[in-house]
Amino acid sequence: MNRPGPILLLLVLVMMASTGCVRRKIDITSDPSGARVWLNDREVGRTPIEVDFTYYGRYDVRLELAGYQPVWTVGSANAPVWDTIGADLVMETVPTELTSTNQWHYILEPAIDDPDQVLQDALELGRFLRDEEARESGQDDVSPEPADDQDDTPPEVPPSSEGG
The confidence score (pLDDT) of residue 7 equals: 78
pTM for the whole structure: 0.57
Would residue 10 count as lying in a domain? no
- CA-nearest of 78, 34, 77, 26 to 50 is 26
For residue 134, being part of any structural domain is answered with: yes
pLDDT digits (tens, 9 = 90+) for 11-32: 666 666 656 677 899 999 999 9
Query: Domain range spanning residue 120?
Result: 112-140
- pLDDT tens profile 39-71: 999 999 999 999 999 999 999 999 999 999 999
Q: Given this model, what pLDDT does residue 25 score?
A: 96
Q: What is the pLDDT of residue 93?
A: 67
Q: How confident is the model at residue 143 (pLDDT cuts 50, 70, 90)?
A: very low
Q: Considering only residues 62 and 150, tell me which one the structure prediction assigns the higher pLDDT.
A: 62
Number of H helices, E strands in the chain: 3, 7
Buried b (16+ CB within 10 A) or exposed e, 122-153: eeeeeeeeeeeeeeeeeeeeeeeeeeeeeeee
Indicate whether 125 and 98 sit together in one domain.
no
CATH at residue 77: 2.60.40
Q: Do residues 29 and 98 both lie within one domain?
A: yes
Domain membership of residue 129 (yes or no) is yes
What is residue 162's predicted lDDT score, i.e. its pLDDT? 56
Q: What is the count of structural domains for the chain?
A: 2
Residues 64 and 48 in one domain: yes
Instruction: Determine the distance from the C-alpha atom of residue 20 to the mean position of all C-alpha atoms in its chain, rounded to a whole number.
Output: 32
- At 82, phi and psi to the nearest 5? -75, -5
Say which residues have a Cβ less than 8 Å from residue 81's Cβ, sequence separation at least 6.
Answer: 87
Q: Is residue 157 part of a domain?
A: no
The per-residue pLDDT for range 117-140, each reduced to its tens digit, is 888 888 988 898 898 888 888 765
Distance separating alpha carbons of residues 100 and 59, to the nearest angstrom: 16
pLDDT for 64 equals: 96
